[in-house]
Amino acid sequence: MERDDADLETGIERVALRLARARRMLAVTGAGVSAESGMPTYRGLGGLYQDRETEAGMPIEEVLSGPTLARDPILCWRYLAEIGRAVSGCRPNDAHRALAGFEDLLEVVVLTQNVDGFHRQAGSTRVIDLHGDCHRLLCLACPGRREVADYRDLAEVPPRCPACGGVERPDVVLFEEPLPLEKTWELRSELRQGFDVYLSIGTSSLFSYITRPFHDARQEGRFTVEVNPGPTSLSEVVDVRLVGKAGSVLPRLLERVRDLRNPPGENPSAGD
């Protein structure tokens, strides 16, 4: 066994032992959790933001911003539609399914920065989608809102409200926009209750609202873990780094925790 594999094996065992005794887990996810679905990440090789100057000569972060949407919805929507179409062509993967599977064993809150809706599709029931969900469209002119399953079915881009004909936007947080208040409250309330295990999966952990729970957890002596093939700003902070892809690490972790919670041969109904 290569040293890296051995480290991963040992790390999975350490985390599994904690999870086998845990009551509540927070899973914070980013674009990396959807990478094995075929979704591009934002940063890094092949990422949506990599060396990306738009046709308008503006950085992609400026095009995908609230002010650009207000000023030039056609330009902003060109790139929103690109993300939406990428989501439409993909499906949840083993990482999303494993996270949903943990709900059979303990309380799981998923805090995701992803707008693809894959955690709910895979069966997770407590999801705080802090950056929104691109399947929800909101009218900019009236209170109209609707769900779109697949961006490839949109009759026009920018899409228009079926009720009033106004331009619509996806219910996602764009650059220079604040986080939705009700979701930050929900998150704060969950964090106040605390978790036994804090898992960061597939995010480069750039935003303070994503890293703070891990720093606080460390200070409070709680158990923190990162699942990521590469280093991030949290790599030196967490108790255990599982260096690998979410789609293979999380199913292995789930299987091991299941075994530890229900050891083979200890069937509770046996002998009844």
User: Which residues of the shown chain bind ligand OAD in the complex (CB under 6 A)?
Assistant: 30-32, 35-36, 41-44, 47, 113, 131, 173, 202-204, 206, 227-230, 232, 245-247
Q: Compute the least distance from the CB of residue 8 to ligand OAD, in Å.
A: 13
Q: Compute the least distance from the CB of residue 29 to ligand OAD, in Å.
A: 8
How far apart, in whole angstroms, are the C-alpha atoms of residue 249 and residue 256? 11
Tell me whether residue 213 or residue 247 sits nearer to ligand OAD (CB atom): 247
Tell me whether residue 236 or residue 266 sits nearer to ligand OAD (CB atom): 236
Residue 8 has φ and ψ, to the nearest 5°, of: -65, -45
Q: Compute the least distance from the CB of residue 64 to ligand OAD, in Å.
A: 7
The residue of the chain with the least Cβ separation from ligand OAD equals 32
Tell me whether residue 204 or residue 224 sits nearer to ligand OAD (CB atom): 204
CB-based contact 32:228 (threshold 8 Å) = yes
Alpha-carbon dihedral sign for residues 121, 35, 155, 180: positive
To 10 degrees, the CA torsion angle through 108, 111, 117, 118?
-50
DSSP one-letter string for 161-178: -TTT-PBEEEEEPPBT-P
CB-based contact 251:14 (threshold 8 Å) = no
Tell me whether residue 235 or residue 260 sits nearer to ligand OAD (CB atom): 235
Closest CA to 140 of 90, 197, 66, 81: 66
Q: Compute the least distance from the CB of residue 192 to ligand OAD, in Å.
A: 24
Tell me whether residue 131 or residue 256 sits nearer to ligand OAD (CB atom): 131
CA–CA–CA angle 199, 201, 204 (5° rounding):
120
CB-based contact 161:143 (threshold 8 Å) = no
Question: 216, exposed or middle or buried, with CB in 10 Å at 0-12, 13-18, 19+?
Answer: middle
**Catalytic residue selected from 119, 131, 135, 215:** 131
Q: Would you call 119 a catalytic residue per the annotation?
A: no
Q: Compute the least distance from the CB of residue 5 to ligand OAD, in Å.
A: 16
In residues, how long is the chain?
Answer: 272
Active site residues: 131
